[in-house]
Structure 1
Amino acid sequence: MRLAPNLYRLGNDIVASYLVDTPEGITLIDAGLPGHWRDLQRELRTLGKSADDIRGLILTHGDSDHIGFAERLRSEHGVPVYVHAADAARARTGEKPKTPFGKMRIGPTLGFLGYSISKNGLRTRYVSEVTEVGDGDVLDLPGAPVIIGMPGHSPGSVGVHVPAADAVFVGDALTTRHVLTGRTGPQPAPFTDDPDEALASLDRIAGLEASWVLPGHGAPWQTSPAEVREAVRKG
């Protein structure tokens, strides 16, 4: 799905990842579920590109619904996978603390589970090798993405600011569609390790210049990061 001239979304409002296309090559942000590999191939064909044009994949955090095709891309095409050091073990092993589900409705919850199963979400391949990054790093990838530490959802959750795409990618630092309740609009994401820290981390993106705030779940939000922060806090 094309959002802007060099900005594309893979997946849908249930689970999404993103592609930034530049003359220097492609940067991916998140890898969704394993079955999104076909979505990636379809988008690449539309662009007249292939996986060999991908220079790097950045994970906003290490949860299974964000690392879907990462290991396949790394092992079959040699694409480096970047993740914050604090989430490196999570991306490699899947180990994470149990968190309360919170509010849920049966319809949206079953929809999320059903979609995950349809995209091979029960067959996660963890990432054998990762390149660790930290807050403030500017990566040598197309679009010069900047890593913004946003701990809370997980210790190594990050935002990824890509000025060339006029966008900040936030993973599960916030959501615009709650996968367990179906509620839409900017709000805290479920399955968050430390909800208070996650809310505080929204300050980290408030001053960024961007027209798109792009979550891992929910509709793309075309507004400023500062406005999204205030919307989440007002709830």
Structure 2
Amino acid sequence: MTTSTRKKSGGRATRKSGSGATLTRDVAPGIHRLEHAYTNCYLVEHEGAVTLVDAAFPSTWPHLLSALSEIGRSPSDVSALVLTHAHFDHVGFAARAVRELQVPVWVHAADRELAAHPYRYQRERTPFLYPLKYPRSTRVLAAMTAAGALTVKGVSDVRMLPSSGVIDVPGHPTVVFTPGHTRGHCALHLPDRDALLTGDALVTLDPYKGARGAQIIAGAATANSEQAMESLVPLAETGAMIVLPGHGEPWLAGIRAAVQSAKATGAT
């Protein structure tokens, strides 16, 4: 993120690099969004330490280091990396984080094997026909490929996320178990910040359709769409107002409205 422009987005400082990464500070109090190749990572600050949520792509790494500098933190301030799930576009730099930052990586036990082998995921439909049916997805998928989507190394040295309860990492998020997109998908609720990090349980951009708005991701990358729709219920029960998805812009009208929209859109 060396060549950059600044702007204000909804009162939040946004920095966009010449290489396609965007840092938006304080999308919720002390939570910063790093977007690269249509995929989001989050930096959660708490008492001088940082929890990373999701790891995008291998080439996201230098953007992460720049983002840490931008918020006044250093790599040594990173205490944990939490994966909402273990698809390749969320595992991206996890192995490097273990090697260079020596931080623990947290993932739900049901996604442990997937974290080690991030291309061995269940899906309902083949993804290869989606660009033909949804041409808007071509630009998104091309950007993800250019960012290293096909070269992600798995991570096997992990800690197990519980299916519920608060985890002992900076920010102390509460785990909301939301299987469907993957078997072990989890969202993270930070009630003191009125924020919910939904991962891919609910997104505002579906990479496989290029469609925007609150929705679940298409069957091209979802293990069980029926279960994914059922997992919208515990998301809604958090009542959070700030919804921070794995793909797409933050949704600031509340999780209940986002879930209503996702249910209306349905599964594809």
User: Is TM more than 0.5 here?
Assistant: yes
- Interval of TM-score (by shorter of Structure 1 and Structure 2): over 0.9
CA distance in 2, matches of 1:59, 1:5: 20
Amino acid corresponding to residue 38 of structure 1 in structure 2: P
Partner of 2:87: 63
TM-score (norm 1): 0.93
Are the aligned partners of 1:88 and 1:130 in contact in 2 as well (CA < 8 Å)?
Answer: yes
Partner of 2:72: 48
1:108 CA drift (Å): 2.8
Partner of 1:99: 124
Q: Could you list the runs of 5+ residues in structure 2 that have no partner in the other structure? A: 1-23
Root-mean-square deviation (CA, aligned residues, Å) is 1.7
Instruction: Please list, as runs of the form range in 1=range in 2, the aligned pairs for 1:1-235 lying within 5 A after superposition.
Output: 1-2=24-25, 3-12=27-36, 14-94=38-118, 95-100=120-125, 101=127, 104=131, 105=133, 107-190=135-218, 191-235=221-265
Which moves more between the two structures, 80-89 or 107-116? 107-116
1:149-187 Cα shifts (integer Å, max 9, x gaps):
101011101111122432111111122112122221011
Structure with the larger RCO, 1 or 2 (CA within 8 Å, 6+ apart): 1
Q: Which runs of 4+ in 1 moved over 4 A?
A: 102-106
Are the aligned partners of 1:13 and 1:219 in contact in 2 as well (CA < 8 Å)?
Answer: no
1:12 CA drift (Å): 4.6
CA distance in 2, matches of 1:129, 1:164: 30
1:179-211 Cα shifts (integer Å, max 9, x gaps):
122221011212111000000011011121422
**SS across alignment from 2:56:** coil
Q: Percent identity?
A: 34
Are the aligned partners of 2:195 and 2:242 in contact in 1 as well (CA < 8 Å)?
Answer: yes
Amino acid corresponding to residue 105 of structure 2 in structure 1: V
CA distance in 1, matches of 2:88, 2:78: 21
Amino acid corresponding to residue 160 of structure 2 in structure 1: E
TM-score (norm 2): 0.82
Partner of 2:7: none
Are the aligned partners of 1:10 and 1:36 in contact in 2 as well (CA < 8 Å)?
Answer: no
Are the aligned partners of 1:13 and 1:218 in contact in 2 as well (CA < 8 Å)?
Answer: no
1:32 CA drift (Å): 0.8
**SS across alignment from 1:116:** helix
**SS across alignment from 1:226:** helix
**SS across alignment from 1:205:** helix
1:114 CA drift (Å): 1.8
Q: Could you list the runs of 5+ residues in structure 1 that have no partner in the other structure? A: none
